[in-house]
Amino acid sequence: MASVSTAIRTGGKTVHAVCTHDCPDSCGVLVTVDTLTGRAVKLQGDPAHPVTRGFLCGKVARYLDRVYAPDRLLYPMRRRKGVAKGPLPAATDPARIFERIGWEEALEEIARRLQQIADQFGPESILPYSYAGTIGQLGYGSMDRRFFHRLGASQLDRTICSSAGGEALKQVYGVRLGTPPQDFAHAGLILVWGGNVHGNNIHLWPFMEQARRGGARLVVIDPYSTRTAALADEHLAIHPGTDGLLALSLMHVLFRDGYEDAEYLRECTNGADQLRAHALRAEHAPQQASAVTGIPAESIERLARAYGAAGQGRGGPAAIRLNYGVQRSQNGGTAVRAVSMLPLITGSWKQRGGGLLLSVSGAFPFDSQRLQMPELMQAGPLGRTARTVNMSALGLALTELGSEGGAASERSAPTGPPVKALFVYNSNPAAVAPDSGRVLRGLRRPDLFTVVHEQFFTDTTDYADLVLPATTFLESKELMGAYGHLFAQISQPAIAPRGEARSNVWLFGELGKRMFPAEPAFADDEDQLIDQALGSGHPYLEGITRRRLENEGHVALSLPKDLHGETLPFSTREWFATPGGRAELTPVPEWVPPVESRHGAEGGGRFPLEFLARKADHYMNSTFANLPGHRQMERSMAGVLEMHPIDASERGIVSGDRVRVWNRRGQLTLTVSVGFTVPAGVVASRMDWQKLSVDGQNGNALTSERLTDLGRGATFYSTLVEVDKELGTK
């Protein structure tokens, strides 16, 4: 409170920032800074932002707790001699493990070690590992990529989140684009399909509520009863991994009962006849699909008819908020292809408030080639494109790659030298990567040189040789696109970096200058990078300049408009970016059960329960899990296994029992909460830092490195387990 009154006394300044966390909403943020102390004293949503409209989610409303956390990592540090890599109790003073060094010394050591390793094993033995600590254009992929490209390091296939769904949209539509979020207000029927709107995408909710006030029905398709599902008109608790079949069954009714928009199908799609014949096959009839999906046949019939009829009378059209939950499943790519075909059958794209939203990231044609300069690979020591290592199989890469008969035997595994250096930034792989048992075995290797650029001492820094302090979004400049709305923004630094924290751009620029002094690519500053990103010449970016973004905070993309001045993606043929210039409905989507699911090859065996290793509503993947205020918000769910009464009673388990959740890959201790948030046969737990849990594990001890059917993505939601009551508990 003291600092707030200071701000009032001195008159604080307000800075426009943008939340750079990995969230579809990319909120406009106003930061009040006390000009006397330079301290940020208040954070609020920017009321001028047309989508995020002046409010922040609960996680970022408390962002100053993060920025000013007493345990933030503020200085470069080196592991003390003789201290082994491995998990530390969260309360451990980092000074016992690491000694503080200067940036100069840190950079010098990193440059020397990387050069040594490159000389001895080849530069591809260096693996950068990063994901979405920030989704800013600069911090997510600019100077870092230039550096690793010039070095000749392995490339990282960034598949851990959205590559299956992204690839599916590309195959069907040619581009990741969809219904603008504001247009959900005009829908007459809303399907939230594998999306946790209240937990993960809160700024869509007011538009959905507006539609509901106008009479729209909300149907949620999710095996888990999220807050969104609880607030819906109907919740269909689908069996995990069966969405492709549900979509085919809806198509079955749409085609059978004449709800197709024949003219739109003819004009805008390719393969409608094949799709119709396929959907009308007997195994796709609601009665058959019901047995597999767990959704009553009448509900499928009713939903299909409501979907087909929406937009035909006075009510609005049907809109689908498909989210990434569906594609974290072994056959999730095909499932997304199938779901994304529904609005093509009914032509609901033609009406405002129709269509489908998964991601609109493809609407931001920033010049990523210019930012990342892949051509530096050719100029570097390799003289060719470096190999690619899949981040969703990190454990495999760290433990098998380069060994006799190792990685090469597994599907789509790369070949070449073992990984000898791991450079982690924007990510906490020890906690978020699948099959953490294997990942940690790799991270523990004494011969692996590991650098981690972070804001906190995470599960991953426990395995680092060197840790480097990173800035938060209040401390550096960024250019932002979004995957859930259509406004470009600039985030201005509101405060000076705390301690010796430095941005990703600074870090990799400095390393680049040090190791490759003759290379001009490392001299660009943030403003130059922003100008380069905006300079693609693509019509969607027309009129969007750095100056304008700085003055206005956010600027709408210059998307095509129809005669009425409306932007209606895929309402006409011009929007499709497939090679054929039309939506591609072939090959027709075939539903196949995930191997690890009740209907799959391993179903009903030793591990009969489907396990959802979920995200937490009050964390961002593993981010925020260490902050006391955030833990307090999440407290009722931390360390909990949610279980249906049937599964619990079969095992003699009651609420409050400690259980062992296990499979071939690992085991995990949780406390059971028996209830109806999951259907019978499904259990669920939420993301946490491993070292903050009772046994140093989270759900990823059980998930696998098996990849999705499209996009080589992670399959977090195709995991089978068994649950046993721990002896000695009540």
Which residues contact Mo ion by CB under 5 A? Answer: 161
Residue 490 found at the interface with ligand SF4 (CB under 6 A): no
- Told to check if 488 binds ligand SF4 by CB under 6 A, we report no
Question: Smaller CB distance to ligand MGD: residue 141 or 152?
Answer: 141
Among residues 106 and 265, whose Cβ is nearest to ligand MGD? Answer: 106
Cis peptide, bond prior to residue 587, ω within 30 of zero = yes
Minimum CB distance to Mo ion, residue 166 (Å): 11
CB-nearer residue toward ligand SF4: 436 or 476: 476
The DSSP code for 305 is H
CB of 458 to ligand SF4, least distance (A): 18
Alpha helices, DSSP H only, in 184-323?
197-200, 205-213, 227-230, 243-256, 262-268, 272-279, 286-293, 297-309
C-alpha–C-alpha distance, residues 684 and 610, integer Å: 8
Q: Which helix (H) or strand (E) holds 368?
A: helix 368-372
List the one residue out of 193, 164, 240, 327 whose CA is nearest residue 600.
240
Q: Is 697 in the site for ligand MGD (CB under 6 A)?
A: no
Give the separation between CA 586 and CA 269, rounded to whole angstroms.
10
User: Terminal CA-to-CA distance of the chain, rounded, Å?
Assistant: 45
Nearest CA-CA partner of 662 in 719, 711, 707: 719
Residue 652: exposure state from Cβ atoms within 10 A (0-12, 13-18, ≥19): exposed
**264 contacts which partner out of ligand MGD, ligand SF4, Mo ion, none, CB within 5 to 8 A by kind?**
none
- Please state the separation of Cα 311 from the chain's center in Å: 32
57 binds ligand SF4 per the rule CB under 6 A: yes
CB of 53 to ligand SF4, least distance (A): 11
> CB-wise, 23 or 160, nearer to ligand SF4?
23
Six-digit token pair at 302?
Answer: 């009713």
Nearer to ligand SF4, 21 or 276 (CB): 21
| Total number of residues that touch ligand MGD (CB under 6 A) | 60
> How far apart (Å, rounded) are the C-alpha atoms in residues 281 and 275?
10
Question: Nearest approach, Cβ of 127 to ligand MGD (angstroms)?
Answer: 15
Q: Minimum distance from CB of 453 to ligand MGD (Å)?
A: 4
- 225 touches which of ligand SF4, ligand MGD, Mo ion, none (CB within 5 to 8 A by kind)? none
Q: Which residues pair with 14 in a beta bridge?
A: 32
* CA distance linking residue 169 with residue 445, whole number of Å: 39
Max Cα-Cα span within the chain: 74
463 binds ligand MGD (CB under 6 A): no
Please report whether residue 425 would count as binding ligand MGD according to CB under 6 A.
yes
- Quote helix, strand, coil % in the chain, to nearest 5: 35, 20, 45
Q: What is the DSSP letter of 696?
A: S
Query: Among residues 76, 223, 553, 589, which is the contact residue for ligand MGD, using CB under 6 A?
Result: 223
Q: Residue 272 touches which of ligand SF4, ligand MGD, Mo ion, none (CB < 5 to 8 A by kind)?
A: none
In the complex, what is the shortest distance from the CB of residue 623 to ligand MGD, in angstroms, rounded to a whole number? 4
Q: Which partner, Mo ion, ligand SF4, ligand MGD, none, binds residue 623 by CB below 5 to 8 Å per kind?
A: ligand MGD
CB nearer to ligand MGD: give 432 or 588.
432
Cα–Cα distances (Å) from 407 to 390, 394, 419, in that order, read 12, 11, 12
Decide if residue 22 touches ligand MGD (CB under 6 A).
yes
CA distance 722 to 261: 46
Please report whether residue 138 would count as binding ligand MGD according to CB under 6 A: no
Q: Containing H/E element for 556? A: strand 554-556
> Interacting stretch for ligand MGD, rule CB under 6 A, among 87-95, 581-589, 599-607, 611-619?
611-619
Of the candidate spans 25-33, 341-349, 356-364, 636-644, the one that interacts with ligand SF4 by CB under 6 A turns out to be 25-33
Q: Judged by CB under 6 A, which of 621, 677, 697, 708 binds ligand MGD?
A: 621
The CB-side HSE value for 345 (13 A sphere, CA atoms) comes to 32
Residue type, 238: I
Q: Which is nearer to Mo ion, 98 or 364 (CB)?
A: 364
Q: For ligand MGD, what does the binding mask look like between residues 257 and 286, x meaning CB under 6 A?
A: ------------------------------
**Using DSSP, how many helices (H) and how many strands (E) does the chain show?**
27, 27
638 binds, among ligand MGD, Mo ion, ligand SF4, none (CB under 5 to 8 A by kind): none
Binds ligand SF4 by CB under 6 A, chosen from 23, 310, 389, 397: 23
- Give the CA angle between residues 601, 606, 608 to the nearest 5°: 70
**Among 578, 164, 593, 484, which residue's Cα sits nearest to residue 337?**
164
CA atoms of 486 and 47, how far apart (whole Å):
16
Q: Which of 41, 51, 56, 345 binds ligand SF4 (CB under 6 A)?
A: 56
Name the minimum Å distance from CB 36 to ligand SF4. Answer: 27
Round to whole Å and give the CA distance between 469 and 102: 11
Residue 23 CB, nearest distance to Mo ion (Å)? 9
- Please check whether residue 42 is in contact with residue 69, taking contact to mean a CB–CB distance below 8 angstroms: no
Which of 16, 25, 85, 338 touches ligand SF4 (CB under 6 A)?
25
Interaction between residue 361 and ligand MGD (CB under 6 A): no
Question: Binding to ligand SF4 by residue 485, rule CB under 6 A?
Answer: no
Binding status of residue 666 toward ligand MGD by CB under 6 A? no
Task: List the structure tokens of 707.
Answer: 């990849």
304 in contact with ligand SF4 (CB under 6 A)? no
Does 455 interact with ligand MGD (rule: CB under 6 A)? yes
Amino acid at 698: N
Q: Are 715 and 393 in contact (CB under 8 A)?
A: no
**Three-state SS for 543?**
coil
Site for ligand SF4 in 183-222 (CB under 6 A): 202-203
- d(CA 332, CA 166) in angstroms, rounded, equals 11
Give the residues lining the site for ligand MGD (CB under 6 A): 22-23, 131-134, 139, 160-161, 193-196, 199-200, 221-224, 226, 238, 240-241, 243, 323-326, 328-329, 425-428, 432, 453-456, 458, 470-471, 504, 612-617, 619-623, 687, 699-700, 703, 716-717
Task: Summarize as ranges the residues that interact with ligand SF4 (CB under 6 A).
Answer: 19, 21, 23, 25-27, 52, 56-57, 59-60, 202-203
